[in-house]
Chains A and B, each alone.
Chain A
């Protein structure tokens, strides 16, 4: 399938002022292209959760979005510390976030389950202490 658009951005660890801005760019790009708003909403939410996870939990990382005519693929990769027990991390309500993060409105333990719920295909792999990779596919 023809690749319409591809982008990749760095996400800094604990820079909460700009965290989330990549997802805004992804959302606005999808709106410009004219993708179905219901699908855009799912992509935006999953991407935002993934981006916030990098800023909150990792040493930094990157997020990319690849827009094809039949699908959008959002990938994240961070530089550690990795997730020891992915099944546990996927449990709603389970979180390792600090009080500071919770005060910002995050760390509810809903991020990973929410990403899985929003995407058509959700793939996650993590190696301690190297980092975590997530690939989310959304059919158009």
Chain B
């Protein structure tokens, strides 16, 4: 699924990486516990979370996760966005809850992480 489709499905706003929305992604995970995220084997995935602290970015960098979506319209601070941009990431925010965000994308065929 293209990131641009994902943006439409979850009514998201792009915070950085607008020029990379033609990229394809096939898997996603919704999680607020970074150690659980670090446990996942997949790299090519979207992380949906309600946490906005700098450790979400550090976790994503360590686990080679390039795409982040913040739920409940949460916005991380400017430093977060600047660093994410430098790391070639795409960051979006959606007004949806984590449950609904995951549910809509799963229904449209975005796969889960094993």
Residues of A within 8 A of B (CB): 16-17, 19-21, 23-24, 27, 37, 41, 44-45, 47-49, 52, 104-111, 114, 117
Residues of chain B contacted by A106 (CB below 8 angstroms): 33-35, 55
Residues of B within 8 A of A (CB): 32-36, 38-39, 43, 49, 51, 53-56, 58-59, 61-64
Q: Provided the pairs A108-B35, A108-B36, A110-B38 are in contact, do residues A45 and B63 lie with their beta carbons within 8 angstroms? A: yes
A27 to B36, CA, bound (A): 20
A116 to B67, CA, bound (A): 27
Residue of A47, A107, A110 ringed by the most chain B CB atoms within 10 A: A110
B83, closest chain A residue (CB): A24
Other-chain contact of B35, A16, A44, A111 (Cβ < 8 Å): A111
CB distance from B61 to the nearest CB of A (A): 6
- Do the beta carbons of B35 and A114 come within 8 Å of each other? yes
Q: Provided the pairs A41-B43, A41-B63, A48-B62 are in contact, do residues A104 and B53 lie with their beta carbons within 8 angstroms? A: yes
Residues of chain B contacted by A20 (CB below 8 angstroms): 54-55, 58, 62
- Do the beta carbons of B62 and A27 come within 8 Å of each other? yes
A136 to B85, CA, bound (A): 32
